[in-house]
Amino acid sequence: MARELQEAATAEPVTQERFGRFYTQELINRGGMAEIWLVADSRGKPYALRKLNDRLRFNLLARRRFLRGCEVLSKINESDYVVGYVEHGRQGGTLYMVMDYIEAANLKELFAQHDPVLTENVAQILIDMALGLSHVHESGFMHLDFKPENVLVTRNGNVRLIDFDLAQPIPEKPKKMSKNPGTPGYMAPEQLQQKPIDPRADIFSYGVAAYELLTNQKPFPGETPSEILAAQMDTSGPMSPREHNADIPAVLEKVILKCIAHDPDKRYPFMSVLVRDLQSALYV
């Protein structure tokens, strides 16, 4: 979904059409799974409408994932750090979800463009990403696809987490998932090995994203899942973030390295503890 939800500056204007109780305004972006439209209600209030692509209408896996993302977001309590849910359903046979409209770009794009919004707000972005993920966990779910592409950042540096298509309820104890989707570069070793997982897999993903944001490098490089896993399993561990960027405070480096520990038991047990240490490290 992250590739789909972009700034309206790149949108394609279209003739207004009715979609349920909404009126289409602009096609914001088209991705592999869905299209994102800027729509408005009868009062002119803007929203983001996500529609499953027509070519996937009869793809059962795609439909299940799309619906899961809708249902999970609908159950996550309202938060300043998670995109707001409005409604979801079917319209003319098309699965859709309506969310709050946010003029933002994803973190991956901003990072690639060396956008000053990152350098000016990096400490708060790191904390807000953690607060968003902590809120998702407190709502009873694991994200399981946390990565820069799924973090929206506004021009003011405000953060919203998106894309819950792969999310799962938090199990009582680590649970092996029947499928192993995700983005290998941000997946925890236990995910890549298809071992039982719990929310500490998200903590690992957060650590990888934070490491990359601060150093412009991935801690575990590789072109394939097996190469990435081999780097994760290397007993020498990743290069310390401060070797890439000496401006990173030592206490922040310690926090990040704890997030990306190979052994889940050596990571933070809960996102709330990570948030506390981040706030302390960054004096926020």
Residue 267 lies in a domain: yes
Residue 13 lies in a domain: yes
The angle, 0 to 180 degrees and rounded to 10, between the axes of the packed helices 200-215 and 271-281 is 30
Give the C-alpha separation, 177 to 141, whole Å.
14
Give the C-alpha separation, 38 to 13, whole Å.
10
Q: Which of 100, 116, 138 is the last residue of a domain?
A: 100
The residue range of the domain holding 66 is 8-100
More confident residue, 178 or 212: 212
Active-site residues, by number, are 145
Q: Which of 222, 230, 216 is nearest to 183 (CA)?
A: 222
Number of domains composing the chain: 2
**Residues 109 and 222 grouped into a single domain:** yes
Residue 53 near residue 47 (C-beta atoms within 8 A)? no
Q: Residue 15's pLDDT band (boundaries 50, 70, 90)?
A: low
Res 30 pLDDT > 80: yes
**Residues 193 and 251 grouped into a single domain:** yes
Q: Which residue has the tokens 């299209």?
A: 35
Q: Which of 74, 100, 126 is the last residue of a domain?
A: 100
For 64-93, write each residue's pLDDT tens digit.
999 999 999 999 989 999 999 999 999 988
Q: Which of 167, 162, 201 is nearest to 79 (CA)?
A: 162
CA distances from 22 to 19, 37, 48, 274 (A): 5, 11, 10, 40
Output b/e per residue, 224-255; b: 16+ Cβ within 10 A. ebeebbebbeeeeebebbbeeeeebeeebbeb
For 185-232, write each residue's pLDDT tens digit.
999 999 999 999 999 999 999 999 999 999 999 999 999 999 999 999
Average pLDDT, the chain: 92
Residue 3 lies in a domain: no
Give the C-alpha separation, 105 to 245, whole Å.
25
pTM for the whole structure: 0.91
**Residues 247 and 175 grouped into a single domain:** yes
Instruction: Please give the pLDDT value at position 89.
Output: 96
**Residues 21 and 115 grouped into a single domain:** no
For 35-51, write each residue's pLDDT tens digit.
999 999 999 999 999 99
Output b/e per residue, 54-87; b: 16+ Cβ within 10 A. eebeeeeebeebbbebbebbeebeebebbbbbbe
> For position 89, which CATH number holds?
3.30.200.20
Give the C-alpha separation, 131 to 82, whole Å.
9
Give bridge partners of residue 154 from the DSSP assignment. Answer: 104
Residue 238 lies in a domain: yes
CA distances from 74 to 18, 191, 231 (A): 24, 25, 37
> For position 147, which CATH number holds?
1.10.510.10
As a dihedral over the C-alpha atoms of residue 275, residue 7, residue 40, residue 78, rounded to 10 degrees, the angle is 0
**Residues 161 and 90 grouped into a single domain:** no
Residue 268 lies in a domain: yes
Q: Which of 100, 119, 136 is the last residue of a domain?
A: 100
Instruction: Please give the pLDDT value at position 11.
Output: 47
Residue 131 lies in a domain: yes
